[in-house]
Structures are given as C-alpha cells and as structure tokens.
A = this chain, B = another copy of it.
Amino acid sequence: MSLDSQGNSVGTISAEKILIDKPLTLACGAVLPSHELMVEAYGTLNADKSNAILICHALSGSHHAAGYHKDDDKPGWWDNYIGPGKPMDTERFFIVSLNNIGSCFGSTGPTSINPETGKVWGADFPALRARDWVESQKLLMEHLDIDCWAAVIGGSLGGMQAMRWALEYPDKLANSIVIASSMKLSAQNIAFNEIARRAIKSDPDFHEGHYLQNNTLPKHGLALARMIGHVTYLSDELMGQKFGRELRSGTFSQGEAAPIEFQIESYLNYQGDKFSSDFDANSYILITKMLDYFDLSREYQNNPVDAFKNATCNFLVVSFSSDWRFSPQRSREITDALIGAGKNVSYAEIESDLGHDAFLLPNARYEKALGNYLSGIADQLEGNCP
C-alpha cells in the first residue's frame, strides 16, 4: 500500500470562504439571496481548465478532504485517496472540495445568521435536497470559471450528487464517479435515520431546534444519533474482528456484581460523545432528510433507465461487499440502469470487511480501480467534455 498520508500528502492547506452572491432557489421554494461556501483546492488548474475534479461530501463530511490544516493531527477525510501519486492525483488534477450548504463547517447553514431576522437560522433553515447542493456547486463552478468538471466524485450521499450532476448538467461533467451509493434509500435506511432524528429531538436541550438561542446543545441526542449511524456504517464482521466480546471492565465470575462493560460499548460511547461536540444537530436532521428524500427517478416515472437517458458523461460505479447500508445490490441497480440507458459504465465490486466506511479507508483493489479510471481521464483531458 502506498497510502501513507504522511508520505505523500498535499501538505498544509487552508480553506477559503467564498461568497456566492447570486440567489439560489431551493427545491422547497425558498430562496437564499446569497450564500457562503468553505472551499479547499488541491493541485493546479491547467491552462484549458480541463483537469478540475469536484469532490462531493456525505452526511458528516466537510471541505477538508485532504492534507493538514495548521495544527491538525489528522488529515482530511479522503486523504487516503487524494494527493500526489494517489488515485485523485494532485500532480495531474485540480481538486475542488467544498462544505455544502446546510452543513456546519463554515458554509451557510443552520448555525449561520438568517439575514431576514438577524438571528441564527437553527431549525428554520429551509429543507434541502441533494439537487440543492448540486445547484450551489454549479454556482461555485461559475465563480471558479470552470466550464466542465473532468469528474464529479463522491461516496454515499456524495454519489447521489455525482448522479444528480449527470442528470441536471449533462454537458458540465465528463465523468461521474458514484461510490457506495444508491438511487434511493430503503425503508430500513429511512428508519435508522428517523430514529437518529428522534433521538436528537427528544433531547430536552434541543428546544425545537433553537438550542443556540437557549445557549445549550442537544449533545446527548446527537451522540445517540451518531452511535446509531456508526453501527450501521460498520460491518458485523469488522466489529467482531475489532472488538469481539472483549471486556473493558468487570468480570463474569460467579458471585461478582461489579458492572461489566464491553469494549464495543466504550468505543461507541466515545464516538458518539466526540461527534456531538463536532457537529450541529440541526445539520444532522437536515442532511439525513436529504438522504431520505433522494430518489433519482422520481420525476422519471420511477424508471431509472429514463432518468439516465439524458446523461452524456461516463460512469464509474463502486461498491463494497460488506456494506449493508448501501449494499452492492444498490450499485448493481445503478449499473443496470446505466447499461439500459446505453451509457458507458464501469463497475467495481470491492471485497472488504469494512462496511460502508470502506469508501474512506485503504483498500488495494479500490485504490487500483479508482486510480486506473482517473489516470485514464488524466491521459485524455483534452476534448473530454461534451
């Protein structure tokens, strides 16, 4: 593996806050007169601006996909795959990564000030759909004066954006790379998201989403929400290998009444607590609803082949064997629809124990598949766009 991020990192980078000073009409009908986006870029835009890649983050992601911020002890969330010599090769591509609206890492969202009221948006931030993120990304594209993405790429909710780009702006991307994603969530997926939302809303510190005005944070609820999500992003196998039934404290000896704690309990509680300090509860509600609402072919009489008909880009679809939240079957459905629509599609089903999180983690075959596909794009950048 050549994925040691210390060895071939994009180095220390800093994010820029970009003002998109154009109105954005959202799917729900609301209009944001302007909005701000936190953006990072890695690599160098070439002369004809044909080597730009757009990174679309998932539920809890941010603009910080690669390299290190000053004083970071951990690199960006996709650093395993972005950097010099890595699949998203910063020596060949100009890679743009943003924090999307509605999220909580500096872009306009529930923790921002609503210009109409002068108060924090909180729970009043308008409902969002994946298409709204695509529209905002399109405005960013214009701001950056890029005419066509060499690729739009994302995992999970990020893959949904990559697909939506292909449908909405077929002449604005040459490749759509859809990883561990789905054309729509199942009832089980929606169920887990709803339980997470209810956990947040049940927290008395939630105050109907106006916790910031009340100087509180619904940390207990958000921690629970994250714990539910976290378990579903890992595989049963991985949890077995990593934690098994190891104890952190206590004993099963007969006659012993001391409390028993399994390692997995301690780990999960830690993950939940950590996340509840890093993320915004209203953003979590908003973005899980985006996931639930996404349905690629809703406006195409539920026919995904019809949905993909207008797409002109090439597609790479990737799934992971142990991902039960966005299972390989969902990716096969995407691939089948693309073939049905007569599109160029490559599909890689990667063996992995790592569950849904596999798309973020080192894996030799995944690295090779992604690397080869992107290297092919880099080799033929000219005339790539429609």
Bin the interface of chain A by size.
35 or more
Q: A255 is contacted by which of B29, B185, B231, B244 (Cβ under 8 Å)?
A: B29
Give the copy number. Answer: 2
Report the separation of the CA atoms of residues A289 and B265 in the bound assembly, to the nearest whole angstrom: 12
Given contacts A252-B293, A256-B29, A268-B195, contact A186 B224 (CB under 8 A): no
Q: How far is the CB of A80 from chain B (nearest CB, A)?
A: 24
A sample of 22 cross-chain residue pairs with beta-carbon separation below 8 angstroms, ordered by A number, consists of A28-B257, A29-B254, A29-B256, A30-B257, A186-B236, A187-B262, A187-B264, A188-B239, A194-B262, A194-B268, A194-B269, A195-B224, A195-B227, A198-B224, A198-B269, A198-B272, A202-B221, A202-B224, A245-B295, A252-B298, A260-B289, A262-B292
In this assembly, does A199 line the interface, its C-beta being within 8 Å of a C-beta of chain B?
yes
Set of chain B residues within 8 Å of A227, measured between Cβ atoms: 191, 194-195, 198
Q: How far is the CB of A254 from chain B (nearest CB, A)?
A: 6
Set of chain B residues within 8 Å of A127, measured between Cβ atoms: 257, 259
Asked whether B191 lies within 8 Å of A239 as measured between CB atoms, the reply is yes
Show the binding face of A for B, using Cβ within 8 Å: 27-30, 126-127, 184-188, 190-192, 194-195, 198-199, 202-204, 220-221, 223-224, 227-228, 231, 234, 236, 239-240, 242-245, 252, 254-257, 259-260, 262, 264-265, 268-269, 272, 289, 292-293, 295, 298
Set of chain B residues within 8 Å of A194, measured between Cβ atoms: 227, 262, 264-265, 268-269
Report the separation of the CA atoms of residues A170 and B257 in the bound assembly, to the nearest whole angstrom: 27
